[in-house]
Every structure is written in C-alpha cells, then in structure tokens.
C-alpha cells in the first residue's frame, strides 16, 4: 500500500478487562495522517499514550503501556488487528485502564475493521526493511529477524501438556490469512495458576468465555478452534508487539518459546540498530526488491 490509511468510520467495543475484571468501553476513531496509533484515557481528561516501544512498561502476562504514571494494559490483540489491516493512524478512546478482552481473540476487532473499511490518506506510508539478521536469546527462549520481502512469522512453542506439546506455525502476513488463521485464536492459561495470578492482581476478568483454560490433562472449554490454537495465539500477540515499531515491518520473524518480553526487546533492538534496517516509502521498497543484492540476501 502506497499511502497511509485510517478507518473509514469509528468502531466501538465493550467488555471486561482480562486482568482487572473491570468493565470498559472502547472506541477506535479515524485520525489524521502522521498521527500514528494513540490511546486516549477519556476517564483521565483525555490523557494520551502513543503506541510506541518507548511507552512499554510491563510485559509479563500482557503488553502494558505507561506514560507519566498512566497505564493502558492488554493492548496486543487490538494493535495486532489494526497493524495487519494497515491502519496507520487511529485514536483509541477508552474509559478504563485495560482494553476489553472480548472472547480472548481478535475476531471482533477484525469483523469491525472489515465492516467499516479503510480510508486512504495523502501522505506516503513508511516501511521498515530488515537488511541484516538480528538474534536474541534469553533463558532458552529465542527470537530472530531476517531479511524477507514481506512480513513472515515462524513461531514454535513447547509446553509439557498433552493438549499443547510442541507446536509450530508459519504465517505470511496478509489481512485475509490473519482473519482466517490467526485472529480466531484465543488466549490461554492454566487452571492451577489461576489462584496465584489472582493474588497478584491478574486474570480477575478471566473466564471460559474469554480464554482457553487448561487443566492438568485437558481443557475446561468445549472445543478448540484449531488443533494448534495455542501457537497461533502466540503469533497474534507477536504481531501486536511488532506494531510498536510504528510502521509495517518487512522481514521474517523466527521465534521459539518467546513471549511479550522477547517480542518487545526485539522491537527495541531493531529500532536501535540503524545498520540493520532502513525505512523507505512503498515505491522505494519495490525498487529495492528488484535489486540483485536484495535477492541474494533473501537466498542466504
């Protein structure tokens, strides 16, 4: 896509926060070009927090943004949906500190984005192209990014649970594939961890309506949406965290047992490593892709 985009019309959602359990109302509004994605706490005098890596605070069980003591939590599913559908500019208004979890997936966000459609703007869109690989490793978890001609993600997980085990999913990012393969995948958690998490102020809004709940040998929910729903949800989270780059990423992510912490560390490393990437317009991107040197990079 050559130019920036915003929503053609506002969209709205209501629900509870996964971790706070608090009721929240949220609207995503069209925004002028070069705005980026900005959260607005309408319960706190319209205080604004930009969806950028500089504002990331906590990443233990969700991605949380923090600015001047004001929080916005569990932003990843909404950001993932806006990012894949190419929404460059949006104002997200909410009246509490956590984005509603809805059914634990991104299905409702995707449905509403598709319903209203997008509006083209006049300013050129910027793309970030990975030119050299970057690797991060932390306590047996790894994430890397390589040169590619589109956003691609290969994600692997390994849980010692009969319903999960080892799962790998390869995803080439398009809105259509995201809607069909990734957006329906729900967040998940383990029943034997719930009590401890709630003591720590987490998953107070969690239920069988908004999460897959695993027992020691199975799940409490009736059915999975995909046999490998767990790894697909990790990709959903990963894309939301990648959106904190602030523009479309052109590169291939390879992650193993990673999570929000490594996702956001990779974003920080990419943005702080100018020798490993460049930012270009759409026409420049197409020209670079035709260069023999870029084709050699992809083949390596």
Catalytic (active-site) positions: 260
Chain centroid, CA 292 distance in Å: 32
State the CB neighbour count (10 A cutoff) for residue 115. Answer: 10
Long-range contacts of 269-274 (CB under 8 A, 24+ apart): 269/134, 269/136, 270/128, 270/130, 270/134, 270/145, 270/245, 271/53, 271/245, 273/134
The residue behind tokens 């990437």 is: 277
Q: Which residues contact 234 (CB under 8 A, 6 or more apart)?
A: 155, 157, 255, 258, 259
- The Cα-based distances of 76 to 168, 280, 291 in angstroms read 21, 25, 35
Are the beta carbons of 132 and 147 closer than 8 angstroms? Answer: yes
């Amino acid at each position: 896509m050559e130019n920036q985009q915003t929503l053609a019309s506002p969209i709205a959602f209501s629900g509870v926060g996964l971790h706070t359990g608090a009721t929240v109302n949220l609207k995503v509004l069209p925004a002028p070009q070069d705005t980026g994605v900005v959260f607005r706490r309408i319960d706190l005098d319209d205080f604004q927090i930009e969806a950028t890596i500089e504002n990331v605070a906590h990443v233990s069980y969700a991605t949380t943004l923090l600015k001047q003591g004001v929080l916005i939590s569990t932003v990843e599913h909404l950001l993932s949906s806006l990012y894949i559908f190419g929404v460059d500019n949006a104002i997200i208004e909410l009246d509490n500190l956590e984005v509603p979890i809805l059914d634990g997936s991104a299905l409702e966000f995707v449905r509403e984005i598709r319903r209203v459609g997008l509006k083209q703007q006049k300013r050129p869109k910027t793309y970030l192209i990975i030119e050299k690989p970057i690797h991060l490793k932390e306590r047996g978890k790894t994430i890397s990014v390589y040169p590619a001609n589109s956003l691609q993600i290969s994600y692997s997980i390994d849980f010692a649970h009969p319903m999960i085990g080892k799962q790998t999913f390869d995803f080439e990012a398009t809105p259509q594939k995201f809607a069909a393969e990734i957006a329906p995948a729900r967040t998940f958690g383990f029943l034997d961890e719930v009590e401890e998490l709630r003591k720590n102020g987490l998953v107070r809004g969690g239920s069988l309506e908004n999460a897959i709940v695993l027992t020691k040998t199975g799940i409490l929910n009736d059915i999975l949406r995909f046999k490998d729903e767990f790894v697909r949800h990790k990709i959903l989270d990963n894309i939301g965290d990648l959106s904190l780059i602030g523009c479309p990423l052109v590169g291939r992510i390879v992650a193993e047992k990673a999570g929000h912490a490594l996702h956001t560390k990779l974003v920080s490393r990419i943005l702080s490593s100018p020798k490993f990437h460049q930012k270009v317009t759409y026409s420049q991107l197409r020209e670079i892709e035709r260069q023999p040197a870029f084709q050699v990079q992809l083949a390596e």
